């Protein structure tokens, strides 16, 4: 098969790395890709929202399957457009991607289907939203309805902050239309986890649960980022809890969408909060997570390509059981100096050759470029160093030993990825 992966991050490198090993791959392409992806796929400079450019490319290259990484093309209807032209594509249609692109749609769906989530109110009127926050006690959460590149949720700890957040979103329009409508919801204390599942419109097959580390600094301090590291599995999610999440959250969501005439195919990503031992949905994403995909895919034993095809064809029930390597997989993200506000670019990356060819360590590239066999930095999140080992201790030790072999000017990373699993275990 000829396969095209759309995207340029660590998530897409992990997908390309895995797909390149598939026995059914003829030719693998990625648009636009990155320095590391160019080692396993042919990269072409087309952006994810250039739907007609991607369609022409897919026709010219006789693409048999398109795999969409990021949310923006999904929300813009790339899947609907490709389906109309009969080109198989992995990902939900725009009405399905609304589970991520509209928090109001997502929360209302959860409410109607009794899917556990924080109690909430919806506002499109600034005066009414202000009255709501004035009547509330902190903490609570304000969320923009639309896509804000992961920055649209504000956990409010003091009232002055609440007032300025509402004004910025609803009056000053810092995220345009995406922030004109807001959700105000109860704060749920607890532990977070990411629960990703393959979906074919009717049924789901879960991946092992994982945990992201969104804040920039150790001990979850500092500003939120795209994600500073992730690991899988999660020690406290036992078989009973896993079944509860699968049935009362993930499957119920797919069925609720199906009942509304939305065949949800692709990955459904539940951002969960375990509060008082019970799972609640904080948000849904309509795609693979980044960086969660890096440790999850590194742990996957089965061939990924037939699973993606089965989702598109609505035949997940027909595939063999997906198998996963034993043990723990941990990914530490290395970022550029100045990330997340003003990441530096163009720095030479050294040490990658020392890790090449390792079975138990893989460096997934995000913001990198390759020219004359030399990798340089080109974005905020640069690399996702990923290691697998029999225990949390072993995998964490191994990943940080690998990190120590890499250097570039301004390189920064969290030193505590996976520590929560050690404490919990």
Residues near ligand GLY (CB under 6 A): 150, 212, 227, 285, 289-290, 292
Integer CA distances (angstroms), 300 to 15, 195, 232, 328, 388, in order: 11, 15, 11, 11, 11
**In angstroms, how far is the first alpha carbon of the chain from the final one?**
43
CB of 228 to ligand GLY, least distance (A): 10
Nearest residue by C-beta to ligand AMP? 153
Q: Which is nearer to ligand AMP, 86 or 189 (CB)?
A: 189
- Using the rule CB under 6 A, give the single segment among 186-194, 326-334, 343-351, 393-401 that binds ligand AMP: 186-194
Q: Considering CB distances under 5 to 8 angstroms, the limit depending on partner class, which of ligand GLY, ligand AMP, none binds residue 25?
A: none
Q: Return the residue matching tokens 């960086």.
A: 291
CB of 212 to ligand GLY, least distance (A): 4
In what helix (H) or strand (E) does residue 290 lie, and over which residues does it extend? none
Within 245-274, the residues that bind ligand AMP by CB under 6 A are 271, 273
Tokens of 331: 């990914």
Q: How many CB atoms lie within 10 A of CB 124?
A: 12
Tell me the C-alpha distance between 299 and 312, whole Å. 23
Binding flags for ligand AMP, 102-131, as an x/- string (CB under 6 A)? ----------------x-------------
Q: Considering CB distances under 5 to 8 angstroms, the limit depending on partner class, which of ligand AMP, ligand GLY, none binds residue 141?
A: ligand AMP
Q: Is 290 in the site for ligand AMP (CB under 6 A)?
A: no
Q: Which is nearer to ligand AMP, 136 or 214 (CB)?
A: 214
* C-beta of residue 61 within 8 angstroms of C-beta of residue 4: yes
Q: Before 233, cis peptide (omega within 30)?
A: yes
Q: Before 20, cis peptide (omega within 30)?
A: no
Binding flags for ligand AMP, 25-64, as an x/- string (CB under 6 A)? ----------------------------------------
Q: Is 187 in the site for ligand AMP (CB under 6 A)?
A: yes
Q: Is 234 in the site for ligand AMP (CB under 6 A)?
A: no
* C-beta of residue 375 within 8 angstroms of C-beta of residue 36: yes
Instruction: Please select the residue that binds ligand AMP; options are 214, 258, 345, 350, rule is CB under 6 A.
Output: 214
For residue 76, give the nearest of 48, 57, 108 by alpha carbon: 48
Tell me the C-alpha distance between 127 and 137, whole Å. 18
Tokens of 95: 């009405």
Total number of residues shown for the chain: 425
Q: Which is nearer to ligand AMP, 145 or 200 (CB)?
A: 145
Tell me the C-alpha distance between 355 and 344, whole Å. 24
Q: Considering CB distances under 5 to 8 angstroms, the limit depending on partner class, which of ligand GLY, ligand AMP, none binds residue 145?
A: none
Q: Considering CB distances under 5 to 8 angstroms, the limit depending on partner class, which of ligand AMP, ligand GLY, none binds residue 417?
A: none
* C-beta of residue 330 within 8 angstroms of C-beta of residue 396: yes
Q: Which is nearer to ligand GLY, 167 or 214 (CB)?
A: 214
CB of 205 to ligand AMP, least distance (A): 23
Q: Before 32, cis peptide (omega within 30)?
A: yes
CB of 339 to ligand GLY, least distance (A): 15
CB of 85 to ligand GLY, least distance (A): 28
Q: Return the residue matching tokens 């959860």.
A: 110
Residue 111 CA to chain centroid, in angstroms? Answer: 24
Q: Considering CB distances under 5 to 8 angstroms, the limit depending on partner class, which of ligand GLY, ligand AMP, none binds residue 290?
A: ligand GLY
- Using the rule CB under 6 A, give the single segment among 184-192, 246-254, 305-313, 356-364 that binds ligand AMP: 184-192
CB of 155 to ligand AMP, least distance (A): 5
Nearest residue by C-beta to ligand GLY? 289
Q: Is 156 helix (H, G, I), strand (E, B) or coil?
A: strand
Integer CA distances (angstroms), 347 to 189, 369, 377, in order: 40, 10, 5
Interface positions with ligand AMP (CB under 6 A): 118, 141, 143, 153, 155, 185, 187-188, 192, 214, 271, 273, 282-283
């Amino acid at each position: 098969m000829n396969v095209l992966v759309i995207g340029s991050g660590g998530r897409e490198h992990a997908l390309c790395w895995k797909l390149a090993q598939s026995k059914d791959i003829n030719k693998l392409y990625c648009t636009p890709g990155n320095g590391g992806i160019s080692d396993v796929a042919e990269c072409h400079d087309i952006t994810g929202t250039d739907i007609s450019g991607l369609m022409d490319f897919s026709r010219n290259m006789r693409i048999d399957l398109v795999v969409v990484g990021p949310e923006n093309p999904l929300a813009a209807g790339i899947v609907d457009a490709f389906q109309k032209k009969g080109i198989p594509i992995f990902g939900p249609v725009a009405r399905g991607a609304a589970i991520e692109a509209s928090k109001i749609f997502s929360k209302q769906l959860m409410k109607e289907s009794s899917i556990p989530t924080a109690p909430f109110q919806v506002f499109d009127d600034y005066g009414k939203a202000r009255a709501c926050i004035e009547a509330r006690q902190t903490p609570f959460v304000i969320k923009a309805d639309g896509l804000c590149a992961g920055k649209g949720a504000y956990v409010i700890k003091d009232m002055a902050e609440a007032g300025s957040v509402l004004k910025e979103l609803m009056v000053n329009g810092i995220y345009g239309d995406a922030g004109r409508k807001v959700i105000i919801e109860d704060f749920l204390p607890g532990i977070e986890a990411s629960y990703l599942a393959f979906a074919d419109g009717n049924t789901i097959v879960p991946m092992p649960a994982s945990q992201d580390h969104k804040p920039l600094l150790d001990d979850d301090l500092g500003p939120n980022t795209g994600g500073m590291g992730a690991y899988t599995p999660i020690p406290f999610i036992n078989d009973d809890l896993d079944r509860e999440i699968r049935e009362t959250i993930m499957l119920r969501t797919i069925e609720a969408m199906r009942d509304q005439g939305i065949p949800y195919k692709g990955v459904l990503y539940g951002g969960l909060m375990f509060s008082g031992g019970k799972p609640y949905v904080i948000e849904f994403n309509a795609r693979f997570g980044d960086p969660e995909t890096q440790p999850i895919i590194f742990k996957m034993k089965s061939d990924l390509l037939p699973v993606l095809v089965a989702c598109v064809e609505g035949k997940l029930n027909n595939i063999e059981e997906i198998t996963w390597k034993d043990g723990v997989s941990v990914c530490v993200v290395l970022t550029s100096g100045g990330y997340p506000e003003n990441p530096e670019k163009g720095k030479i990356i050294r040490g990658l050759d020392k890790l090449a060819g390792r079975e138990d360590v893989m460096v997934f590239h995000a913001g990198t470029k390759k020219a004359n066999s030399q990798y340089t930095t080109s974005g905020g999140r640069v690399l996702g160093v990923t290691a697998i080992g029999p225990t949390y201790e072993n995998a964490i030790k191994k990943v940080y030993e690998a990190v120590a072999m890499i250097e570039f000017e301004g390189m920064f990373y969290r030193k505590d990825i996976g520590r929560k699993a050690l404490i919990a275990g």
